[in-house]
Amino acid sequence: MVAVKQRNMILLLLFIGWAIGNFDRYFINYAVLSITKDLQLNPTSTGLILSSFFAGYALMQIPGGWLADRLGSRRVLISSVLMWSIFTALTGAVWSLGSMIIIRFLFGIGEGGFQPASSKLISQTFPTDKRAWAMSIMLSSGGIVSLIVPLLSAYMLTTIGWRTSFLILGGIGFLITILFWVFIKLPADLKDEEKTLAGDSHQGIFKQIIKTPLMLNLFIAYYSIYAINWGLATWLPTYLVNVRGLDLISLGWMQTIPGLAMIFAMYLAGYVIDKLPLGKEKVVGAMSCIVVGVLLYLMYNAPSVTTFVAYQTIVIIFISFVMLLLPAIILKRLPSSVTGTSIGVANTGGQLAGFITPLAIGFIVQTFNGSYNAAFGMLIILAIICTISLLTLNLQKGELLQADA
Sign of the CA dihedral 42, 301, 223, 235?
Answer: positive
- Report which of 4, 94, 112 is spatially closest to residue 58, judged by C-alpha positions: 112
Confidence check: pLDDT of 400 > 60: no
Confidence check: pLDDT of 174 > 90: yes
Confidence of residue 397 (pLDDT cuts 50, 70, 90): low
Cα angle: 18, vertex 355, 139; to 5 degrees: 20
pLDDT, averaged across the chain: 82
Calculate mean pLDDT across residues 71-83: 90
DSSP 199: S
- Report which of 42, 51, 253 is spatially closest to residue 153, judged by C-alpha positions: 253
| Length, in residues, of the chain | 405
Confidence check: pLDDT of 146 > 80: no
pLDDT, residue 387, reads 96
Residue 396 burial (C-beta neighbours within 10 Å; 0-12, 13-18, 19+): exposed
Backbone φ, ψ for residue 357 (5° rounding): -65, -50
* SS3 assignment, position 40: coil
Chain centroid, CA 396 distance in Å: 27
Q: Among residues of the chain, what percentage have pLDDT more than 70? A: 91
Range among 58-62, 353-357, 381-385 rated most confident: 381-385
Q: Which of 4-13, 127-136, 141-150, 228-237 shows the lowest mean pLDDT across its residues?
A: 141-150
Contact 121, 262 (CB under 8 A): no
Contact 114, 21 (CB under 8 A): yes
- Report which of 339, 71, 342, 66 is spatially closest to residue 194, judged by C-alpha positions: 71
Calculate mean pLDDT across residues 27-36: 82
Looking at 303-405, which runs of residues are DSSP E strands?
none
pLDDT, residue 403, reads 44
pLDDT, residue 291, reads 95
- DSSP, residue by residue, 254-270: HTHHHHHHHHHHHHHHH
Confidence of residue 404 (pLDDT cuts 50, 70, 90): very low
Of the two residues 379 and 235, the one the predictor is more confident about is 379
Confidence check: pLDDT of 203 > 80: no
> Per the structure, how many domains does the chain have?
1
Q: How far apart are CA 49 and CA 53, in angstroms?
A: 7
How many helices (H) and strands (E) the chain has is answered by 17, 0
pLDDT, residue 190, reads 56
pLDDT, residue 188, reads 56
Calculate mean pLDDT across residues 299-316: 89
Using alpha carbons, list the distances in angstroms from residue 150 to 43, 146, 221, 307.
21, 7, 28, 19
Confidence check: pLDDT of 90 > 60: yes
Q: State which residues form the domain around 63.
A: 4-404
Cβ burial 42-57 (10 Å sphere, 16+ → b, else e): ebebbbbbbbbbbbbb
Q: State pLDDT tens for residues 387-396.
A: 999 998 876 6
pLDDT, residue 195, reads 52
pTM of the model: 0.73
Q: How far apart are CA 356 and CA 399, in angstroms?
A: 32
pLDDT, residue 137, reads 86
The answer for residues whose C-beta is within 8 angstroms of residue 76's C-beta and 6 or more apart is 64, 67, 68, 113, 116, 117, 340
Whichever domain contains 269, its CATH number is: 1.20.1250.20
Q: State pLDDT tens for residues 310-336.
A: 999 999 999 989 998 888 888 877 777
- Report which of 231, 223, 176, 205 is spatially closest to residue 50, judged by C-alpha positions: 231
Residue 60 burial (C-beta neighbours within 10 Å; 0-12, 13-18, 19+): buried
Q: How far apart are CA 222 and CA 392, in angstroms?
A: 14
**Taking the CB of residue 362, how many other CB atoms lie within 10 A of it?**
24
pLDDT, residue 187, reads 67
Q: Which amino acid is at 402?
A: Q
Residue 261 burial (C-beta neighbours within 10 Å; 0-12, 13-18, 19+): buried
The answer for residues whose C-beta is within 8 angstroms of residue 192's C-beta and 6 or more apart is none
Q: State pLDDT tens for residues 256-275.
A: 788 788 888 888 888 888 88
Range among 52-56, 160-164, 222-226 rated most confident: 222-226
Of the two residues 190 and 286, the one the predictor is more confident about is 286
